């Protein structure tokens, strides 16, 4: 695939799931939709704090257990409803990493991740770790390349549905092609799964169930199931939303 590209954002992997091949993306593109719309966020959201814990069954309900990630993510939006930055922090609220976006003519064309390499918690020293370059090639397709310094790590394409949501994503890593599909119900992501393009074998699946919502109708608690059966969730994702 050529250097053509327009935006991919690799969300932090669900911490306990250990499904390295199954990636959930944040994305940005034009076409009349804001990033809030494309991520099914209602109202003038300013930031979303997200943390993940192992699921525990208590009094007939799945809740967050004590085994939680030490790190959490804060996604910030500007007043136009588009991404402005993403912060990764630890439980001491030290900033471990920052993702910054660059836009051109309303399109996100570059996303750069900076890691804090300082060993002193009172100081910060951020260095560039990776960069994703993006280019729109049609109304429903964006190509991307992921670079680490001068090394091209992988490339691919993201395909969008009529509502601007990610419908599928092809990834080419070391010559191996896989496709990740996204399934929605009532505007919410309910499933994503990955297939090898050669042979069409499904190699990973995650199912999602939103169980709590705030006064704006945005989910604040989500169960994540590994595999194709919703028997017992592996992780509970908790979100705290701040509004303008």
pLDDT computed for residue 29 by the predictor: 45
- Residue 103, in any domain of the structure: yes
- Of 6-10, 129-133, 237-241, the range with the lowest mean pLDDT is 6-10
Question: Does a structural domain hold residue 141?
Answer: yes
pLDDT, one tens digit per residue, over 195-239 is 988 777 888 899 999 999 999 999 999 999 999 989 999 999 999
Assessment of whether the complete model's pTM goes beyond 0.75: yes
Mean pLDDT across the stretch 146-173? Answer: 90
Q: What is the dihedral of CA 102, 82, 116, 10, to 10 degrees?
A: -90
Task: Please give the Cα distance from 47 to 228 (Å, whole number).
Answer: 32
Number of domains in the chain: 1
Using one digit for the tens of pLDDT, what is the confidence trace for 185-198?
A: 988 899 999 998 87
Q: What would the mean pLDDT of 43-54 be, rounded to a whole number? A: 96
Q: Is residue 220 a part of any domain in this protein?
A: yes
Q: How far apart are CA 194 and CA 205, in angstroms?
A: 7
Q: Residue 121 has what pLDDT? A: 67
Distance separating alpha carbons of residues 152 and 173, to the nearest angstrom: 10
Residue 1 located in a structural domain? no
Q: What pLDDT score does 1 carry? A: 44
| 137 within some domain | yes
Q: Which is higher by pLDDT, 71 or 164?
A: 71
Q: Is residue 47 assigned to a domain?
A: yes
Beta carbons within 10 angstroms of residue 180's beta carbon: 21
Residue-wise pLDDT for 19-47, tens only, equals 333 444 444 444 447 888 888 899 999 99
The domain of 104 spans: 9-243
Q: What pLDDT is stored for residue 96 in this prediction? A: 94
In the chain, the percentage of residues whose pLDDT exceeds 90 is 60
- CATH number of domain containing 51: 2.40.160
**pLDDT at 14 (0 to 100):** 31
Residue 2 lies in a domain: no
C-alpha–C-alpha distance, residues 130 and 119, integer Å: 20
**Within a domain: residue 150?**
yes
Which of the residue ranges 31-35, 141-145, 151-155 would you say has the lowest mean pLDDT?
31-35
Question: Long-range CB contacts (< 8 A, 24+ apart) of 70-73?
Answer: 71/12, 71/15, 71/96, 73/11, 73/12, 73/49
* DSSP secondary structure code for residue 11 in this structure: P
Q: Is the pLDDT of residue 12 over 70?
A: no
């Amino acid at each position: 695939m050529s250097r053509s590209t327009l935006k991919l954002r690799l969300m932090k992997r669900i911490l306990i799931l250990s499904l390295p091949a199954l990636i959930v993306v944040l994305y940005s593109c034009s076409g009349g939709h804001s990033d809030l719309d494309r991520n099914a966020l209602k109202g003038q959201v300013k930031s979303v704090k997200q943390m993940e814990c192992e699921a525990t069954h208590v009094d007939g309900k799945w809740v967050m257990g004590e085994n939680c990630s030490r790190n959490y993510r804060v996604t910030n939006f500007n007043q136009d409803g588009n991404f402005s930055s993403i912060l990764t922090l630890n439980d001491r609220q030290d900033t471990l990493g920052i993702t910054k976006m660059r836009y051109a003519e309303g399109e996100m064309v570059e996303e750069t991740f900076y890691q804090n390499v300082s060993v002193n918690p009172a100081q910060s020293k951020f260095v560039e770790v990776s960069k994703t370059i993006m280019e729109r090639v049609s109304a429903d397709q964006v190509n991307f390349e992921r670079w680490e310094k001068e090394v091209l790590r992988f490339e691919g394409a993201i395909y969008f549905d009529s509502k601007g949501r990610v419908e599928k994503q092809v990834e080419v890593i070391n010559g191996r092609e896989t496709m990740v599909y996204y399934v929605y119900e009532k505007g919410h992501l309910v499933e994503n799964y990955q297939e090898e393009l050669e042979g069409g074998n499904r190699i990973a699946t995650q199912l999602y169930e939103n169980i709590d919502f705030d006064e704006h109708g945005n989910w604040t608690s989500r169960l994540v199931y590994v595999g194709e059966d919703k028997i017992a969730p592996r992780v509970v994702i908790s979100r705290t939303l701040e509004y303008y």
